[in-house]
Chains A and B, each alone.
Chain A
Amino acid sequence: MKKKILLVEDEKPLCLLYEEELSREGYEITAVMDAEAALAALRSTVFDLIVTDIRMPGKNGIELITEIMGLRKDIPIIINSAYQSYKEDFMTWAADAYVVKSSSLDELKAKIKNLIGA
């Protein structure tokens, strides 16, 4: 059975890019564009992993992670942000991995594989 990934990304083109590229790797992707939609998806579906951006309208990625911890502590989370600097925010340490967005998706794919396998 395909592993399920919840992707939280507010930029439309990036959302599409990640969805296509990660699907090609054999994962089942549910893409949402904000934290509220992510929390709604988490209530109805069991995911194997979450990939989330930090800067988003409404609740940001860090607030989202805090809420997810309250819902399901065991789910692995990857932060995928354009900002290197959030790595210094200890709230992001709750995530299992931190990837700075890049036009090559190799690092993101490798981190996912590392956490949940292919």
Chain B
Amino acid sequence: MIETYNILSPDFERDAPRELMLLSIVSQSIFQPFSLEDNLLVILTALTSGSGVGFNRAMLFLKKGDRLMGEMWLGPRSAEEAGLIWEVLSTPGIGYVEIVEHNRALVNKSEDTLSARLKGLVYAADDEGALIPAYAACRKEILHVRDAANDPLVDRRFLNIIGIDEFLCIPLIARDDIVGEIILDNAITRTPISPSDIKLAGVCGLMAGNYVYSTTLHRKLLDMEKMAAMGEMAMFVTHQIRNPIVAIGGFTDQLLQPGVPEEKRSRNLAIIRDEIRRLEDIIYQMGHFLKVSLKEPVYFDPGPVIAAVLDSPQVQAKARGYTLSLKLDPCPPEILSDPTSLGEVIRNLLDNAFDATPAGGTIQIRGYRKSPKAFVLSVRDSGRGVTNPDKDQLFRPFFTTKENGMGLGLPFTKRVMDTCGGKVEVRSRVGKGSIFKLIFNSRERESTP
């Protein structure tokens, strides 16, 4: 027998050890697609909520460049506020999302939050002679400070803000580099910090440090990918635009020469007009691809959409000279997608099929159930096929094997399929043809009385 469990909500007993609850919340936060700030907020919450370690307040510094900067401070400002907040957070069944929403509101609630006061604090991140709190980060050591007022190592500005003698500094370290620091205290209850609290907070610090590090790397990677895509786009657009411009300029120069025969004059003007239309088309397609926003997917019957595309004058005109066949399940399920985008996707796939197939070839559209919850729409052609290296590039924007293609049809298809949780697959043999399969999530139609 096999049992399955949801990876995101381990259902602990109410009396499970607090360490386990805490680590569960922190690891869940790292798993979520929320922003870095929101997830860090959850880690601070875990350190301060009743079900967590139970510190009263948590303060976060992040390393930016070579500076350690105050980022957010979570906790109540008074005993009354503490009672209210801790009551909400210890409500049975409260989940990650609720914690994020509650605390986001708390951090942004008023200008007089703890966070606002913390924001002005900045320290050099690698100064060996730094004062506490930066001292802990610079030395990569956990510090338990008990008598701050009388300790010359504690920065006075910091002491004025935190206003308590006992606190804990947890450096956030990843790959031996400092990424930030967390300060914890019990300013409301004045409970002394115990050795077991320190150990547990240290483990949270390790996880938080690695989380900050990987998120920063991920952001850098996304930026690099964006830059690479933009570079590719710039190169492609240069080429696409330069060719018509060269033609327009060259044929205009010819027109400016004396004694151009009437026949050549009209021919040149026709070429210039066509090339300008081509430029307009390039601009339209680019704008369409970059701006088009996809609608929320819904369940619908794919039959009418396919029929509308096949009946459209453009497809009818292109289909002349080809054998075009449709084999659709007579009672298809409802598929999850956006009907307008799907129409465009099918038209794109058919366009590609016609372009790849010599006249007289066959193009088949099929729609069938792959499983009780998946429906496949496929377009198969008997055209020239795609080589393996080209196949890997097909879904990359601006990659095209066509003379006048923009390379935006298949990336659009992929975007549409990704948006509705579906997939697009391609199989191809050079000289034999290609098949593109769109795989949708589907559900059976409710039977009509």
Does B associate with A?
A: yes
The contact of A57 among B243, B249, B250, B402, by CB within 8 Å, is B402
Whether A14 contacts B238 by the Cβ 8 Å rule is no
Which A residue's beta carbon lies closest to that of B250?
Answer: A17
Chain A neighbourhood of B244, CB < 8 A: 13
Tell me the complex Cα distance, A21–B254, Å: 9
Q: Is B246 an interface residue (CB 8 A)?
A: yes
A55: chain B residues within 8 A (beta carbon):
239
Contact B403 A104, beta carbon cutoff 8 Å: no
Check if B245 is an interface residue, CB within 8 A of chain A: yes
Residues of B within 8 A of A (CB): 235, 238-239, 242-254, 271, 274-275, 401-403
Tell whether, in the assembled complex, residue B403 and residue A82 are in contact, meaning their CB atoms are under 8 Å apart. Answer: no
Which of A13, A84, A85 is B247 in contact with, Cβ under 8 Å? A13
Given the known inter-chain contacts A11-B243, A104-B249, please indicate yes or no for A83 contacting B238, CB distance below 8 A.
yes
Does any Cβ of B come within 8 Å of A105's Cβ?
Answer: yes
Taking a contact as CB atoms under 8 Å apart, the answer to whether B402 and A103 are in contact is no
**Bound-state Cα–Cα, A82 to B245, Å:** 10
Asked if residues A82 and B249 are in contact (CB atoms below 8 Å), the reply is: no
Q: Is the interface of B mostly helix, strand, loop or mixed?
A: helix
User: What string of 1s and 0s marks CB contacts (under 8 Å) between A81-106 and chain B?
Assistant: 01111000000000000000111110
Q: Say whether, besides A13-B275, A14-B243, A57-B401, A82 and B238 are in contact (CB < 8 Å).
A: yes
Pick the contact of A17: B235, B247, B402 (CB < 8 A). B247
Query: What are 11 A-B interface contacts by the 8 Å CB criterion?
Result: A13-B274, A14-B247, A14-B250, A17-B254, A57-B402, A57-B403, A83-B239, A85-B235, A103-B246, A103-B248, A103-B252
CA–CA, A102 and B253, complex, Å: 12
Selected from A11, A13, A83, A102, the residue in CB contact (under 8 A) with B235 is A83
CB pair B254 A14 closer than 8 Å? no
Count how many pairs of residues, one from A and one from B, have CB atoms less than 8 Å apart in the complex.
52
A55 vs chain B, min Cβ distance (A): 6
Q: Are A103 and B245 in contact (CB under 8 A)?
A: yes
Task: Confirm or deny: A36 has a beta carbon within 8 angstroms of a beta carbon on chain B.
Answer: no
> What residue in chain B is nearest A83 (Cβ atoms)?
B239
Residues from chain B with a CB closer than 8 A to the CB of A13 are 244, 247, 251, 271, 274-275
Give the complex CA separation of A17 and B271 in angstroms.
Answer: 10
> Which residue of B248, B250, B252, B403 is within 8 Å of A105 (Cβ)?
B250
* A20 is an interface residue with CB less than 8 A from chain B: yes
Closest to A56 in B: B403
Question: What is the CA–CA distance of A105 and B250 in the complex, to the nearest angstrom?
Answer: 8
- Compute how far the CA of A20 lies from the CA of B250 in the bound complex, rounded to whole angstroms: 10
Give 9 A-B pairs besides A14-B250, A103-B247 with Cβ atoms closer than 8 angstroms: A13-B251, A17-B254, A21-B254, A82-B243, A85-B235, A101-B243, A103-B246, A104-B249, A105-B250
Contact (Cβ within 8 A) B247 A82? no
Contacts of B238 in A (CB 8 A): 82-84
Residues from chain B with Cβ under 8 Å of A105 in the complex? 250
- CA A57 to CA B407, docked complex, whole Å: 13
Q: Is A28 an interface residue (CB 8 A)?
A: no
Asked if residues B239 and A103 are in contact (CB atoms below 8 Å), the reply is: no
Output the residue of B246, B247, B401 with the most chain A CB within 10 A. Answer: B246
Q: CB-nearest residue of chain A relative to B271?
A: A13
Q: Which of A10-58 contact B (CB under 8 A)?
A: 10-11, 13-14, 16-17, 20-21, 55, 57
- CB B283 to nearest CB in A, in angstroms, measures 17
